[in-house]
Amino acid sequence: MRAELTFRLSTLFDVRMTNLFARLARPVTLFSIVYAQTGGNLSNCRGGCDGGEQCVGNPFSQPVGDSECNFCARGRCYWPCNFETLCFCQSVEVGSPRVPPAPKSGFRPNAEILDPCQAGILTEEAFNQIVQPSNEEGRALYTYDGLCQAIMQFNKYHDEKFAGMGTETNTRADLAAFLAHAATDTYNFSVTREALHCVDPVTGSDAQTYCKPCKEEHYNFETKSCSQDYFAGIDSSYPDYCDLTRQGTMGCMCDKSVRPVSVVPGHADLTGYMAADDAYFTRGSIELKWNYDYLGASMSMGDGDYLCDNPDLVSTSPRHACETFGLFHAVAHNSFSTDYISRHVIKLLQGAPGFTSTWKR
């Protein structure tokens, strides 16, 4: 069954993008592309790492371990060492943030627009004209301050800035494109959690959110209801979206055996619920879904593995909801001709809010 997708990319592109550019863009009289190295941590370790650094893997588009990247610093010239930013030099100092680098655009950072909010490129008024959630949940989560904080956090750790490279027009286009994709992925900033995996969420008396997951065959996409308890059956655990082959430095650990809570605090009559913070499923402005997505997003913001233990922050914290752009907008490391990436992307997108067929709401 193919659910109706009411938010239209053509609308986004033809109307919303036009509106976005009208709001964000100014007449372009000069367009210059400045090719320049941005230096810093953008490296695949070719030529070795500096003293006090080691070559480690950036596994968020392809599974690659530190051990494989170690060879790059010793002169290996084939995979993973021949692929930009798949390996990078990382300080060996304990506690130093491990931040996967973003692919280089070739543009130079614009010193006058490193913070597009402070520079007046993205004003609160423009944001509120563009981001108009249809429900209170979306209005509370997708906020101007949250996006500004996320941009600052991301840019603090990356030479390849978000909405801070090239000309002012480039930065406005970056913002417009991000907001267009986020609008599509979140049903116009109104979806905060993947509905199939969090039917009828409730807040317990402990202030935590609890979700009722549902198996696809039991989910009604029209009424957004579930006909059967996910946990009914022999194996009463929730193993979804945790890739056992990508853990540790390659993804959040899957050691949490997600099981139903015996009782939702303050809601003794509810059954079939799990703590939202125990489970990985689709959340965020540009969706995070799998355990490795959450680690990648967290690391790209210099937050270590913080989101691994607190994945539901992406649905409750404005900064974390917006900062997911870091992984997909600037760090996502895809190659158009890579079979693996294609499978990876489809896997990421399946079941995510905002899409149908393979995308179910």
Q: Interface residues with other proteins (CB under 8 A)?
A: 2, 4-5, 8-11, 13, 17, 61-62, 79, 82-86, 102-107, 160, 162, 165-166, 170, 173-174, 177-178, 180-181, 286, 328-340, 342-343, 345-346, 349, 355-359
CA–CA separation, 22 vs 2, rounded Å? Answer: 34
Output the smallest distance, CB 170 to other proteins, in A: 6
Q: Which is nearer to other proteins, 35 or 262 (CB)?
A: 35
Segment (H or E) for 87? strand 87-91
Closest distance of CB 24 from other proteins, Å: 12
Q: CB count, 10 Å around CB of 232? A: 12
CA–CA dist 113, 154 (Å, integer):
14
CB of residue 18 vs other proteins: minimum separation in angstroms?
11
Closest CB to other proteins among residues 186, 316: 186
Nearer to other proteins, 12 or 226 (CB): 12
Nearer to other proteins, 62 or 192 (CB): 62
Any long-range contacts for 1-10 (C-beta under 8 Å, 24+ apart)? 1/221, 2/356, 2/357, 3/221, 3/222, 3/356, 3/360, 3/361, 4/356, 5/354, 5/355, 5/356, 5/359, 5/361, 6/187, 7/183, 7/184, 7/187, 7/188, 7/354, 9/184
The torsion defined by the Cα of 287, 289, 291 and 297, in degrees rounded to 10, comes to 0
Shortest reach from residue 90's CB to other proteins, in Å: 18
The CB-of-267 to other proteins minimum distance in angstroms stands at 37
Nearer to other proteins, 228 or 358 (CB): 358
- Do the Cβ atoms of 322 and 285 come closer than 8 Å? yes
> What's the CA angle centered on 156, arms 150 and 162, to 5 degrees?
60
- To other proteins, the closest distance from the beta carbon of 174 in angstroms equals 5
The torsion region of residue 73 among left (phi > 0), alpha (psi -120 to 50) and beta comes to alpha
Closest approach, Cβ 339 to other proteins, in A, equals 6
Region class of 162: left (phi > 0), else alpha (psi between -120 and 50), else beta: beta
Q: How far is the CB of 74 from other proteins (least distance, A)?
A: 18
Residue type, 301: M
Q: Toward other proteins, which CB reaches closer, 27 or 51?
A: 27
Least CB distance to other proteins at residue 340 (A): 7
| N-to-C CA span, the chain | 11
Q: Which residue's CB is nearer to other proteins, number 45 or number 165?
A: 165
Nearer to other proteins, 96 or 342 (CB): 342
* Minimum separation from the CB atom of position 85 to other proteins (A): 6
Q: How far apart are CA 329 and CA 17, in angstroms?
A: 17
Q: Which is nearer to other proteins, 276 or 348 (CB)?
A: 348
Distance CA 177, CA 185 (A): 12
Taken as a whole, the chain contains a residue count of: 361
* Minimum CB distance to other proteins smaller for 89 or for 279: 89
